Chains A and B, each alone.
Chain A
Amino acid sequence: MHNLRFHLPYSVVSLCFGAVAVLLVAYIGLIAVVMSYATLTVEFSQSVRNDESAVAVLEGRYLAGVLHITNIDYSAEGYAKPVAKEFVRAESATALR
């Protein structure tokens, strides 16, 4: 019978140490990635909310503008109602008739 024992180039203990070290670094790296991702997510979501808030301010101005225009008393501004109205057919907006 031949001896079939397999000879490793280094000890099993060293291999285990190496594996543990690699796993540890990978774990820590993963934590770092997760934390960075969470930070970016929070930052992004807050930035979205801030932008929405800024847009809402602009929309508020638009709605206030609509209200202002609606409230204008044209007779007080010097305009008078027309004596007669003429309803005519709208012309085509293009040159193609």
Chain B
Amino acid sequence: MRAQFLSRIRIILVCIILAALLISIRLYFIQIVHGEEYTLKADRQFASGGSGLFDRGSVYFTRKDGTLISAATLATGFLVAINPQTIQDPEAAYAAIAASSDTMLSHEAFLAATLKKNQVYIEVSHRLSDDKGKTLAAQDIPGVQVLRERWRQYPGDTLAAQSIGIVSYGSGDTLAGRTGLEATYDGTLGRSGDSLYKNFFAELFSNVGNLLVTARDAREGDIVTTIEPEVQTRLQDDLVKLNRRYSSRESGGIIMDPSTGAILALAKYPAYDANDLQDITGALLGNPLVEHVHEFGSIMKPLTMTAALDAGVVMPNTTYNDTGCITVNTARICNWDSKARGVIPIKQIIMQSLNVGAAWLATELGQDKFRTYFTKLFGQKTGIDLPNESGALLGNLSKPQQIGYDTAAFGQGIAVTPVQMMRALGAIANGGVMVKPHLVRAVRLNSGIERELDWSETVPVFSAAAARETTEMMTALVDEKLENGKAIIPTMSVAAKTGTAQLTTPGGSYYTDRFFHSFVGFFPSYSPRFIILLYTNDPQGVTYASETLDATFLDLVHFLIDYYEVPPDRGLPAQVGAATTP
């Protein structure tokens, strides 16, 4: 009985050992003997787990209804490489590859590559579509490898290209974000390893803690921007038309929620196609809205006015004597038409854009208070999440000459970036409080958690009462002055101000016939949802911003009212009624 039992045990043992041997032999053949062949085959079918395949997080636009639309993502396809040592018929190989590829080497270059017999791998074509790559791979041409490839793709082409940024090799051999959000959030978007291909069991045996929660998972992810694609499209389209019409050197614009600092659109023309960087200069890749400073002209006047009201040196009904021109420190300051207005209320400084009035406000405010307000408004960078932000040039405010303060009061002699200007003017729209402008609202981590970014830091500058009084003046300007009163929207209060600044010559003086035009506006005036800043640099054949930018501004206002279905804030009786405009 015992002998029978032992013999059965031995038979089972022999079977198990035989099975183990068979599996081991099979594994030996798969992994050792045919290992290279299977590796190539796997590479052709799937992405390999190696670090050679580009991986990176996505960037998303956010539509008004919260839908995410890709701004930057990865495209997958194939690359073609040859092995000069094993290629048999170069002409046939070239013909087959050229038939599948749009980015093929020239015939001569391809043949020259096949002659480099000391090399085993030369890439000859990139970015083949999935279908074409698989068709070419199926031909199984000796010496031709069709391998998986991924690359950065921007579905919107030019859409918000300067904000989204680019990925490139730079001076090193690593693909990384170089400009825009791609650079700012490179630590989040970049992929440091093969997180998607990690070996569960190897991780289990080596480091259980890392398998469950890794520092990488807590850092890497996708980013969700505040940019609304249709608003961005509209702004870009308007800027193209504006720039072409006036042959400007450049034009730019920002649309922001003044209460949160969320930027819905930020654009500049000329722009570039992020998917086609072959002929792009380095200067075009930067973002002038955060990197370049300008003297903005009269859109600075609302800030001077609010500062004076906030400091209590003037009241809304205060009057002053406008003489048309004044002389300060031997320099002459004049109104745009050099005409005197006599004794008028300070409201007219905004409505008629009077330089003499703005200079008078600066004098009333005094140098110390003026410097304190303007340093608070422009002394710090905004902290926007774009790289290479510049600081303002406020040198004139540290000198004792009054002329520096008087000219700063109407936007000449100090230079700030468009984003800084937007942030400062946003304080008037937001009850006197400056917010932090930003383009990214959340990070979607690999773990699936969406982490909202904290942009709640604010800087109180003016009292709400002072901001409202200036808003009333800017609203009156739109209702009564803009396009001679034809721009009024009966059912929507809109506050705005135009600005025209003389451009500086290389010698430091000012051109008399070259200008920088700017325009700012927000609506509904007393509970704003949008603030718009526009500028166009050196437009040809026009002098004043009211001639160049009002149509663009009004187009954007009407578009936003329609697109966001902004309810009327005035002009309709309580129950029924209608308001008509010509």
Contact = CB atoms under 8 A, between A and B. Distances in A.
Contacts of B17: 21, 24
Contacts of B13: 14, 17-18, 21
Nearest to B195: A45
Interface size class of chain B, counting residues whose CB lies under 8 Å from the partner chain: 35 or more
Contact of B230 (A9, A32, A45, A66): A66
Interface in A37-77: 37-38, 41-43, 45-46, 49-50, 52-53, 55-57, 59-60, 62-63, 66-67, 70-71
Interface stretch (B172-180, B454-462, B571-579): B571-579
Interface in B99-149: 130, 148
A5 interface: no
B485 interface: no
Given A43-B46, A53-B75, A67-B233, A87 B196 contact: no
B76 interface: yes
A40 B196 CA distance: 11
Given A17-B13, A38-B197, A87-B571, A56 B75 contact: yes
Interface of B is mostly: mixed
Contacts of A17: 13
B16 A63 contact: no
B27 A25 contact: no
A9 B2 CA distance: 7
Contacts of A49: 47, 74, 76, 150
14 contacts: A9-B5, A28-B24, A37-B199, A38-B199, A50-B130, A52-B70, A53-B74, A55-B70, A56-B153, A56-B155, A59-B70, A63-B157, A70-B237, A84-B581
Nearest to A62: B69
Contact of B47 (A25, A34, A46, A62): A46
B155 A42 contact: no
A10 B5 contact: yes
B564 interface: no
Q: Which of B130, B196, B237 has the most C-beta atoms of chain A within 10 angstroms of its own C-beta?
A: B196
Contacts of B155: 56-57, 59-60, 63
A89 interface: yes
Interface in B190-236: 196-202, 229-230, 233-234
A8 B577 CA distance: 104
Nearest to B19: A25
Interface string B1-36: 010011001100100110110011001000000000
Interface of A: 9-10, 14, 17-18, 21-22, 24-25, 28, 30-34, 37-38, 41-43, 45-46, 49-50, 52-53, 55-57, 59-60, 62-63, 66-67, 70-71, 83-89
B6 A10 contact: yes
B324 interface: no
Given A56-B70, A85-B581, A66 B233 contact: yes
Contact of A87 (B2, B20, B202, B568): B568
Closest 9 CB pairs of A and B: A60-B155, A45-B196, A87-B491, A21-B16, A56-B73, A87-B579, A59-B155, A46-B47, A63-B156
